[in-house]
Structure 1
Amino acid sequence: MTQMISQTFDVKGGPQFGRDNLPKLRTELQALGLDGFLVPHEDEYDNEYLPDCNERLLWLTGFSGSAGAAIAMKDRAAVFVDGRYTLQVRQQVDGNLFAYCDLVEQGMHGWIQSEAKVGEKIGYDARLHSPAALDKLKTAAERAGVELVSVDNNPLDKAWTDRPRAPMAQINPQPLEFAGENHTSKRERIGVAIERGAADAAVLTAPPSIAWLLNIRGGDVSRSPLPLSAAILGKDGKATLFVALEKLTDETRTHLGNEVALRPETEFAAGLAELTGKTVRVDPTTASAWVFEQLKAGGATVQELEDPVMRPKAAKNAAEVEGARQAHIRDGAVIVKFLHWLDTEGQSGEVDEIQAAQKLESLRAELPELRDLSFDTISGAQGNAAFAHYRVSEDSNLKLADGSLYLVDSGGQYADGTTDITRTVPIGTPTAEMRTQFTRVLKGHIALSMIRFPKGTTGTQLDILARMPLWQAGFDYDHGTGHGVGSFLGVHEGPQRIAKAPSSVPLEPGMIVSNEPGYYKEDAFGIRIENLQVVTDAAQIPGGERDMLGFETLTLAPIHRTLIDLHLLTPEELMWMDRYHALVREKLLPLVEGQVADWLLKATEPLAGATP
């Protein structure tokens, strides 16, 4: 049964939030004898998508973006965002109350060093900061002559008198047919890894790791089927799950069995204190500074190492890969119906971005297997599509106008897999510039699909393949080329990625990554082509000396033929396109009918030999 949470298009937040709530926080700070308080976007679980009760930055400032921070002082305040949100922050945050600052170049630590006054006391909640981030803040405070004060009870939470209740979604077992390995086996083999690393236990604070390890799924977080919780896994494979016990059904309790102890999440601090004298593995990139403080105060020896669940989770087993294949076939049929609609009704010039997103959502909602969207649909027309992470609202909504491009990036959550696909569609006749740039993006996409690479290769080493056709013409895009994707978990999953940024994580068989090069012309149009692909063992290349890895494309949907300049494609690229479209036709034609089937046949006709 579909449990989807429909996407909304109203703009959360706004300047009134700061006008109403900044004074409330300042009243609490005065009572604590503090001059200021640090408010990051992150929550206690380092979630990508926050439950309403943890939207602290939104409550204080009115800013609803996915990355940011604020510093609230008794006589001044600042809000920090990155380059994606420079326009949005000015629309949502009162500039008379908050100075607009750069999250990347300056950040809260830079502001403290340059703007804080000697002797000021600035509070922070250690649950909301990583150890590295807090170290940087402490260094800046020391240089500025400022005292950072850890608070046990967050004053913003006290000031937020109408704060929503914590989510209490039911926790269900993930069926073995989709998980591919029971949680006893998972716990035991990861316990062995913990012991080999000379530790007694690992503290797990990332909800996706806990969900995968124990084969459970929840609904506490929008767009990700996560149960908010924490866990301790011993080297013997036995675990303790700290969670709101009301979320657990009798079926889930039976599923977890006797080797998973169940305790209220309010006892997590006590559970950490019980690790006295133990060597404990904790990931400083996912666990908060508070976890490290609790362990050290309790007398544990702390190993700062990667979450031991992260890489086993990223390298999908055969059942998870097959589930991803089936989810993409199912989702691909929806995309075909939507692309047909765009090529017919969507060409009228009267359809807008919201209507297009709603149409796609309604088509996905017809699938009984759908559990949720995997993220809010990016539905961008005209110049809006030039914002790579654009989110349509009632205020920004544009028509799919004749002579423009429409970019749609969307995905679904299914019990057997998570999807994420981007397609760019012409509305009317595309210009020569649009076709040229689209084809350059396509060439990069194909290169990253066709590549064979030796074991030990990282995504950083492959990133240039997707960019080279653009680079050679003097263009680029300012986002990563590929992110990891979970198995009915987060649509953005580490540690694997394909990006310019250095990565030491090699790509391994079973890892799913996106392949999404793009091009964005400010105030004009945006282009992106995104498929998900899984790392596979490739057959040895004839005459070669080493076994290679490669990619199997999972996403199935036509790439718009009228946007392709055939003169710019090599014979090998044409062959890849024709093979891909033949696969799309084979897998999806049985799932559509009538005019949609006729459209699919034309959309997947061979390009080789076609008139340029």
Structure 2
Amino acid sequence: MLQTFDATTSPDQSPPRLKALRAAMADAGVDAFLVPRADAHQGEYVAPADERLAWLTGFTGSAGSAAVTGARAALFADGRYRVQGRAQVPDEVEVVAWPDTKVADWLIGALSEGGKVGLDPWLHTEKEVAALRKALDPKAIALAPGANLIDAIWPDRPAPPVGEAFDQPVDLTGRTSREKREEVAGILREADQKAVVLTLPDSISWLLNIRGSDIPRNPVVQAFAILHEDARVDLFLDPAKVEGLDPDPAIAVHAPAAMPAALAHLSGPVRVDPETAPFAVFEALREAGVTISEGPDPCLLPKARKTPAELRGARDAHRRDGAAMARFLHWLDANAPGDLTEIAVVEALEGFRRGTNALRDISFETIAGSGPHGAIVHYRVTRGTDRPLRAGELLLVDSGGQYVDGTTDITRTVPVGPVGPVGAEERAAFTAVLRGMIAVSRARFPKGCAGRDVDPLARQFLWVEGRDYDHGTGHGVGSYLSVHEGPARISRASTIPLEAGMILSNEPGYYREGQFGIRIENLVAVRPAEAEPGREFLGFETLTLAPIDRRLVDARAMAPAEVAWLDAYHARVLEEIGPLVEPKVRGWLARACAPLRP
């Protein structure tokens, strides 16, 4: 199995570790210490060596941070993770609703004037540090960047990863690394910038057409890089990672320890992204007197605009993944509830994906939440939480695969066993979520619209009922890269215009804590749409191909255009996936894809 089910943390581990941290804080002369869920590359997913937040508090979510003082400790989590946070951390750790309450606000309430806050400058971005200083300075609370105190008290901390890098073929990327480097170097020259410091592993992997195995579920190479205006690259990583690659005279490989000196010898202006680059990089440049030009990572937008080759690969990957999903849903329909548990569901789904003989990895830990576990947005089943499937409950399964030609991410919510016992509330909520997902799928909008303009379409039917969900409607998705990719997303907070070629998730949901969760997710690609002369419009092509459970739909609440979309989508699923599966699965698929109103 790629996924394991052992609990890696326990709340009872946290109190002695907090005590050790407080002793280290006293030795270092700081009154508080910040522990983000981040590494020096500021990626969403981190290696075991960088799981400091989980080690200290027990919280294993993919986003969050902690602040510890001599008397108090807090975990800051957004709406996706508050239920999980309360279950995983000990009572002495407060679970704070972020961003409603910011870390600086909590620190002001927890510290006296003159307090000092320790932090690792490699684990916080320039933007984060600037915001903290702005909020804390009026209260005479100072930041004290320095050594990471967690590392000093973590006796069996894993070693940093040294995964082997490998080439991503140009027939799948659609562009050579040289072409990409020339494009990004052109962006620098146009801005009169001499170089850019790249810190995001997926940006570097995309730029150099390489993939790796440093981070589970994400085929990236952990590295830093400096791209110069002449398209030369200085690459900083353990040289063992790239021993198997053909050398490129334009790419010089250095050990990570050489990076500070390389930064100090740069001639400015040097571009650095304050939202993604560590504060330590900015400090090194400032100390060397190098002129900094703040700006977004110039790889982000070109990477998000998928090439025709990458879009072809995505379609192929989704057809392959759709066949695995059809086999899985057929199996689930035939065997649930029986004696199945959540772990059995995860194992079966991974097995069907492995059966494609093309799976490189899962794209994230599969979420299989039955009944009340479905309300934990990013639930991960362990042997201690494993729950049997029960008739009449809902099962939420969010999963994906990493294939060499594309990355998939799909969520389906299904009834367990006979559909009759499923309540009217669940059916009404499922239908509202489905209508929102269809509204996004059918959307056409003027070029220049951002994710925040599309996001309300997904929520409108829930809002009418006074309901909502506490996560974005969609995130960007990489091309055999990270399943969560910036800079665009479908969210009320996103101001990045959507552009043709971007791949995004479309995943509205609804969660009733302690009872059930609902989410329906397809991946979509942004593409040009028809419009009157003189106007440019965009819309979405749905990539995901798997039936949506019609048994949970209240057809009476659906508008004719929504029914037509669902019927057309199911007809396409049957047409494209039917020939890929066995006769018994094809028969089940035909029934699952039948028109909503016969």
Residue 100 of structure 1 deviates from its aligned partner by 4.3
Classify 1:83/1:470 alpha carbon distance in 2 versus 1 (closer, same or farther; 3 Å): closer
Distance in 2, Cα, partners of 1:15 & 1:156: 17
Classify 1:533/1:79 alpha carbon distance in 2 versus 1 (closer, same or farther; 3 Å): closer
Q: Is it true that 1:123 corresponds to 2:118 in the alignment? A: yes
For residue 28 of structure 1, what is the aligned residue in structure 2? Answer: 24
Match of residue 316, structure 1, among 284, 306, 310: 306
For residue 358 of structure 2, what is the aligned residue in structure 1? Answer: 369
Distance in 2, Cα, partners of 1:412 & 1:82: 26
* SS of equivalent to 2:9: coil
Distance in 2, Cα, partners of 1:404 & 1:129: 42
Distance in 1, Cα, partners of 2:468 & 2:65: 28
Distance in 2, Cα, partners of 1:100 & 1:385: 20
Decide which moves more: 449-458 or 382-391. Answer: 382-391
Q: Is it true that 1:382 corresponds to 2:371 in the alignment? A: yes
Distance in 2, Cα, partners of 1:102 & 1:267: 40
For residue 57 of structure 2, what is the aligned residue in structure 1? Answer: 61
Match of residue 255, structure 2, among 264, 270, 288: 264
Classify 1:407/1:446 alpha carbon distance in 2 versus 1 (closer, same or farther; 3 Å): same
Which whole-Å deviations, capped at 9, do the CAs of 1:233-280 have from their partners, x for residues lacking one?
Answer: 111111111111011133x133xx1111111112111111111x4101
Distance in 2, Cα, partners of 1:465 & 1:147: 44
Distance in 1, Cα, partners of 2:43 & 2:482: 10
Residue 366 of structure 1 deviates from its aligned partner by 2.0
Distance in 1, Cα, partners of 2:397 & 2:405: 23
Decide which moves more: 173-182 or 123-132. Answer: 123-132
RMSD: 1.9
Decide which moves more: 113-122 or 354-363. Answer: 113-122
Q: Counterpart amino acid of 1:138?
A: R
Q: Is it true that 1:575 corresponds to 2:564 in the alignment? A: yes
* SS of equivalent to 1:79: strand
Classify 1:351/1:511 alpha carbon distance in 2 versus 1 (closer, same or farther; 3 Å): same
For residue 440 of structure 1, what is the aligned residue in structure 2? Answer: 432
Residue 99 of structure 1 deviates from its aligned partner by 4.3
* SS of equivalent to 1:112: helix
Q: Is it true that 1:16 corresponds to 2:12 in the alignment? A: yes
* SS of equivalent to 2:482: coil
Which whole-Å deviations, capped at 9, do the CAs of 1:376-424 have from their partners, x for residues lacking one?
Answer: 1111111221222222233333222111111111000111100000111
Q: Is it true that 1:510 corresponds to 2:501 in the alignment? A: yes
Q: Is it true that 1:356 corresponds to 2:345 in the alignment? A: yes
Residue 58 of structure 1 deviates from its aligned partner by 1.9
- Whether the aligned pair in 1 keeps the contact of 2:84 and 2:376 (CA below 8 Å) is no
For residue 404 of structure 1, what is the aligned residue in structure 2? Answer: 393
Q: Is it true that 1:587 corresponds to 2:583 in the alignment? A: no
- Whether the aligned pair in 2 keeps the contact of 1:14 and 1:91 (CA below 8 Å) is no
- Whether the aligned pair in 1 keeps the contact of 2:84 and 2:379 (CA below 8 Å) is no
Q: Is it true that 1:147 corresponds to 2:142 in the alignment? A: yes
For residue 533 of structure 1, what is the aligned residue in structure 2? Answer: 524
For residue 345 of structure 1, what is the aligned residue in structure 2? Answer: 335
| Structure 2 unaligned spans of 5+ | none
Classify 1:138/1:527 alpha carbon distance in 2 versus 1 (closer, same or farther; 3 Å): same
Classify 1:570/1:18 alpha carbon distance in 2 versus 1 (closer, same or farther; 3 Å): closer
Decide which moves more: 306-315 or 579-588. Answer: 579-588
Which whole-Å deviations, capped at 9, do the CAs of 1:13-55 have from their partners, x for residues lacking one?
Answer: 2233323323433443344333442222221111211111011
Classify 1:453/1:120 alpha carbon distance in 2 versus 1 (closer, same or farther; 3 Å): closer
Decide which moves more: 458-467 or 313-322. Answer: 458-467
- Whether the aligned pair in 1 keeps the contact of 2:83 and 2:376 (CA below 8 Å) is no
For residue 100 of structure 2, what is the aligned residue in structure 1? Answer: 105
Classify 1:592/1:258 alpha carbon distance in 2 versus 1 (closer, same or farther; 3 Å): same
- Whether the aligned pair in 2 keeps the contact of 1:116 and 1:144 (CA below 8 Å) is no
Residue 206 of structure 1 deviates from its aligned partner by 0.6
* SS of equivalent to 1:286: coil
Q: Is it true that 1:135 corresponds to 2:113 in the alignment? A: no
Q: Counterpart amino acid of 2:55?
A: W
* SS of equivalent to 2:164: coil
Q: Is it true that 1:415 corresponds to 2:404 in the alignment? A: yes
Which whole-Å deviations, capped at 9, do the CAs of 1:133-179 have from their partners, x for residues lacking one?
Answer: 2123223442333332221x323212222210001110001111111
Residue 545 of structure 1 deviates from its aligned partner by 4.8
* SS of equivalent to 2:246: helix
Distance in 1, Cα, partners of 2:189 & 2:373: 52
- Whether the aligned pair in 2 keeps the contact of 1:172 and 1:249 (CA below 8 Å) is no
Classify 1:513/1:31 alpha carbon distance in 2 versus 1 (closer, same or farther; 3 Å): same
Classify 1:453/1:361 alpha carbon distance in 2 versus 1 (closer, same or farther; 3 Å): same
Distance in 2, Cα, partners of 1:476 & 1:82: 14
* SS of equivalent to 1:190: helix
Distance in 1, Cα, partners of 2:81 & 2:518: 20
Which whole-Å deviations, capped at 9, do the CAs of 1:529-561 have from their partners, x for residues lacking one?
Answer: 1100101122x34x6652422111100001112
* SS of equivalent to 1:338: helix
Classify 1:406/1:268 alpha carbon distance in 2 versus 1 (closer, same or farther; 3 Å): same
Paired residue total: 595
For residue 553 of structure 1, what is the aligned residue in structure 2? Answer: 542
For residue 45 of structure 2, what is the aligned residue in structure 1? Answer: 49
Q: Counterpart amino acid of 1:546?
A: R
Classify 1:69/1:479 alpha carbon distance in 2 versus 1 (closer, same or farther; 3 Å): closer
Distance in 1, Cα, partners of 2:462 & 2:44: 30
Q: Counterpart amino acid of 2:591?
A: K
Q: Is it true that 1:477 corresponds to 2:477 in the alignment? A: no
For residue 425 of structure 1, what is the aligned residue in structure 2? Answer: 414
- Whether the aligned pair in 2 keeps the contact of 1:68 and 1:82 (CA below 8 Å) is yes
- Whether the aligned pair in 2 keeps the contact of 1:112 and 1:140 (CA below 8 Å) is no
Q: Counterpart amino acid of 1:294?
A: A
For residue 195 of structure 1, what is the aligned residue in structure 2? Answer: 189
Classify 1:107/1:267 alpha carbon distance in 2 versus 1 (closer, same or farther; 3 Å): same
Q: Counterpart amino acid of 1:32?
A: A
Classify 1:549/1:82 alpha carbon distance in 2 versus 1 (closer, same or farther; 3 Å): closer
Q: Is it true that 1:325 corresponds to 2:315 in the alignment? A: yes
Classify 1:558/1:39 alpha carbon distance in 2 versus 1 (closer, same or farther; 3 Å): same
Residue 592 of structure 1 deviates from its aligned partner by 0.8
Q: Counterpart amino acid of 1:363?
A: F
Classify 1:57/1:347 alpha carbon distance in 2 versus 1 (closer, same or farther; 3 Å): closer
Q: Is it true that 1:253 corresponds to 2:246 in the alignment? A: yes
| Structure 1 unaligned spans of 5+ | none
Q: Is it true that 1:290 corresponds to 2:285 in the alignment? A: no
- Whether the aligned pair in 2 keeps the contact of 1:370 and 1:413 (CA below 8 Å) is yes
Residue 76 of structure 1 deviates from its aligned partner by 4.6
Distance in 1, Cα, partners of 2:463 & 2:97: 27
Which whole-Å deviations, capped at 9, do the CAs of 1:440-486 have from their partners, x for residues lacking one?
Answer: 22222112111222211111111122222222333322221111100
| Percent of residue pairs identical | 46
Scaled by the length of structure 2, the TM-score of the pair is 0.95
Distance in 2, Cα, partners of 1:497 & 1:553: 16
Q: Counterpart amino acid of 1:512?
A: I
